[in-house]
Amino acid sequence: MLYRVIRRTLSATLSTHRQTAYNNQDTPFDFTEANYKEVDSILAKYPPQYKRSAMINLLYLAQKQCNGWVPLAAMNKISKILEVSEMDVYEVASFFTMFNREPVGKYHLQVCGTTPCMVRGAREIIKTIENECHILKNQTSKDGLFTLTEVECLGACVNAPMIQVNGEEVYEDLTPETMKNLLDMWKAGKEPNVGPQNGRKNSEGPMGRTCLKCEPQAAQFRDFAKVKEDYANKKAEEAKKAEAKKAEEAKKAQEKK
């Protein structure tokens, strides 16, 4: 049996956004008065003929207004503001994982699962969230508080493992215990301190910022003069042994004669 494969672009196969009962063409959306001022401020940064360059900024603004996700109506509104096709906006929104096209919880927990965080315990952090919130990855808790997502590197490898919340705040140096404490605080309506959860500041080492408190220690470079001397001595010794071997062979050859 022969099969014919027809190659099409994404735009050709999906010319409209998938609609649902809560997210469709008739779902109302408009920017707030304050956000319209922000829209004007964003557009002012680009020449009129290049205002489509503001698309990502407007999508981010819409997502923030809609509590963490971008509904279809918001994308359509942005297409009108930028005078581009609706599909142009759909393609950008679906390409970047920072944009959520489905509703998320009040706290969108994005756990970094890339190698440094994975090695430092990201799997245990994910398991803690799953157990405490009774959800799996890409699910939202029944109370609407938490959505769990595993993402790629968030740029805080030195403080691994870490999570990003609502695309903005980061919580680092996590353990299952400190992750549970964070969840308990959010459940209680409290806002924990952002950043490292093990007491250190920023990315300082276990000895603190020693180089800012005292004279910096000399770098532990190798003594290259000594290295050169050792290398020369080694070569001289090898040459001496080679010469002795050559003399021994010549002596044996002379004795045979």
Q: 22-95: which CATH number, 3.40.710.10, 1.10.10.1590, 2.60.120.10, 3.30.10.20?
A: 1.10.10.1590
The bridge status of strand 139-140 relative to strand 107-112 is: unpaired
Work out the pLDDT band at 220, boundaries 50, 70, 90.
low
Residue 8 clears pLDDT 50, i.e. is over it: no
Assess whether pLDDT exceeds 70 at residue 233. Answer: yes
Cβ atoms of residues 47 and 53 within 8 Å: no
> What pLDDT, in 10s, does the model give residues 35-77?
999 999 999 999 999 999 999 999 999 999 999 999 999 999 9
Predicted local distance difference test score (pLDDT) of residue 217: 63
For 51, residues 6+ apart whose C-beta sits below 8 A from its C-beta are: 43, 82, 83
Question: Domain residue spans in the chain?
Answer: 22-95, 107-196
66 is in an annotated binding site: no
Q: Is 214 annotated as a binding residue?
A: no
Give me the sheet containing 139-140, strands edge to edge: 139-140, 146-151, 107-112, 163-165, 169-172, 195-196
Superfamily of domain 107-196: Glutaredoxin (3.40.30.10)
pLDDT at 132 over 60: yes
Residue 153 assigned ligand-binding role: yes
The annotation status of 157 as a binding-site residue, yes or no, is: yes
CA atoms within 13 A on the CB side of 71: 19
- What is the tens place of the pLDDT at every residue in 13-36? 444 567 788 888 888 899 999 999
